[in-house]
Chain A
């Protein structure tokens, strides 16, 4: 078993420290900062020594930016504004390292060359990884139409921010493409190969993706203006309707040229009938017929074939005229000098069912229709004469006497 190199031991020690402090690190990542207490002081100090934690306000501590960036990237944490890589600085550093490598190579300082090779390879990998992360973040934000922010103003601001950033990266890529980095790295076939496969081959795809994102962002900006205008239109129209409840639109149905929106064909109520002549529909129709519940038809005894059946005569219907109708006939038939009141008082069945005033009114209506006005006399209530209407107290049948009659 081979022993680990001292540098590798450093990584192991660092990971062991993170393992021991994982709860604190997670807490600081999600809460933004943590408080230093006697229980946590030891671990926080150890993390600070390794530059994994930085002091915040008062007794609070937060994760170091490099660790936070690392966690954001591997956990794909959504951020309102992602602190992207400074590609300009990264490319300048790479070119500087390549120049130093070329000098060391020309002076045949092989150990320095190895050190620069390592730096250059790491820088190329770093730039490629950063570009991947940048593209992923941009694509996510563009696909969600900046869902992390809610208002149109914020979305538009983010759109402009990322548009400018994307444009800058595209410009930097183009400048980098025309640099003489291939010539500077030509001393090492290994470096040339790494540079070609990790970066140069992917460059057109990166550039294309960035230009595509840039185009989408520009289109969104235009759409935001439309959305804003639509929202304003809806709000202002609603306000207009609220302020002017009597407002009605012009009768566009009478316009010589019908507006496009008004040209909507009226719906037709469609009903289909089954074609009973098609044999293929028979089984389906039978199934449907079985689903129809049987009607509760009255049972009727059928006459036996060849036999006559006598029909029973229907029972006659006898109508009994109402008491008032019978009493009126009898009262009129009673002849001259009989009075309606006396008749009512003398017939128990009548006065039990009909009050006197109702009887008098019925009698008056009947006599008015069947006799001449000279054949009966009304006795009014003297006390109520002054009101214009007369209350009938009694009616006398008098025959054909001249001058007699109702008023």
Chain B
């Protein structure tokens, strides 16, 4: 298991209960995570995890000049993924009338998504706006809602936020632990970007939230 987990971490994967259940459970054992951290430390890396410990990944042990170039690449990737991924998560919340943000393991039923889009002009428009955010979501030959949805889902799967399954002919997707990483990014931006400080303000009970959190 050590070798399998090490290879996946070195390949840049996020290991969570959804994407890699065995590896995730193995890493959740304190002794195993310590071993892995020691091993990664010998090659300039360290074992890192999201704040809620729902996804593990390899991080740089120290950030020097050499690592800066890689970090710039990571930043560019996040910058490109952030908008479409967050817009899609908000879209899924609208489809399912949820007041809860999606978490790792939440299921997206493809047929339900398509039906909801077909039944609501507003959702169709929302999907079209998301599809306009990235060149990969657009096709000159297929401008249907189904085509747009397929391309968005495929790209999110490629980025590691979704995992598809096709059980008994029914297609569904599950959110991976990488969504928690995405939430950490926007939480950081809310705290540090000047224009985003009011993103979690409550209209009704501002003082209560302050005291509890």
Contacts and interface: CB of A to CB of B under 8 A. Distances in A.
Contacts of A268: 10-12
Nearest to B70: A266
Contact of B45 (A235, A241, A259, A265): A265
Interface in A228-246: 228-242, 244
A27 to B, nearest CB: 33
Interface stretch (A70-78, A177-185, A248-256, A363-371): A248-256
Interface residues of A, number: 44
A151 B57 CA distance: 33
B78 A262 contact: yes
B175 to A, nearest CB: 12
Interface residues of B, number: 54
A249 B79 contact: yes
Interface string B160-189: 000000000000000000000101111111
A241 B187 contact: no
Contacts of A242: 87, 129
B74 A262 contact: yes
Contact of A253 (B10, B12, B68, B209): B68
B59 A238 contact: no
Contacts of B63: 258, 263
A231 B101 contact: yes
Interface in B8-46: 10-13, 45
B71 A248 contact: no
A261 interface: yes
Interface stretch (B116-124, B136-144, B145-153, B193-201): B193-201
A227 B100 contact: yes
B74 A266 contact: yes
Contacts of A270: 7, 10-11
B124 to A, nearest CB: 15
A267 interface: yes
B12 A237 contact: no
A247 B93 contact: no
Contacts of B2: none
Contacts of B1: none
Contact of B59 (A229, A236, A264): A264
B209 to A, nearest CB: 7
Contacts of B93: 231, 234-235
B72 interface: yes
A252 B186 contact: no
A257 to B, nearest CB: 9
A268 B190 CA distance: 32
B11 A233 contact: no
Interface in A133-162: 151-153
Interface string B56-89: 0111100100001011111110110011001101
A222 interface: yes
Contact of A232 (B82, B129, B184, B200): B200
A225 interface: yes
Contacts of A263: 48, 59-60, 63, 71
A234 B193 contact: no
Nearest to B202: A232
B90 interface: yes
A349 interface: no
Interface in B96-129: 98-101, 129
B212 interface: yes
A226 interface: yes
B213 interface: yes
A163 to B, nearest CB: 15
Nearest to B13: A267
B212 A225 contact: yes
B190 A233 contact: yes
B195 A233 contact: no
A225 B45 contact: no
B196 A237 contact: yes
Nearest to B196: A240
Contacts of A229: 200, 209, 213
B99 A238 contact: no
A47 to B, nearest CB: 41
Nearest to A265: B58
A11 B32 CA distance: 63
Nearest to B72: A253
Contacts of B101: 227, 230-231, 233-234
Contacts of B199: 232-233, 236-237, 240
Nearest to A230: B101
Contacts of A265: 10, 12, 45, 57-60, 70
Contact of A233 (B60, B83, B187): B187
A259 B188 contact: yes
A261 B181 CA distance: 7
Given A242-B87, A253-B72, A270-B10, A231 B99 contact: yes
Contacts of A253: 68, 71-72, 74-76
Contacts of B189: 237, 249
Interface of B: 7, 10-13, 45, 48, 57-60, 63, 68, 70-76, 78-79, 82-83, 86-87, 89-90, 93, 98-101, 129, 181, 183-190, 192-193, 195-196, 198-200, 202, 209, 212-213
9 contacts: A222-B212, A229-B209, A251-B75, A262-B74, A264-B12, A265-B57, A265-B59, A267-B12, A267-B13
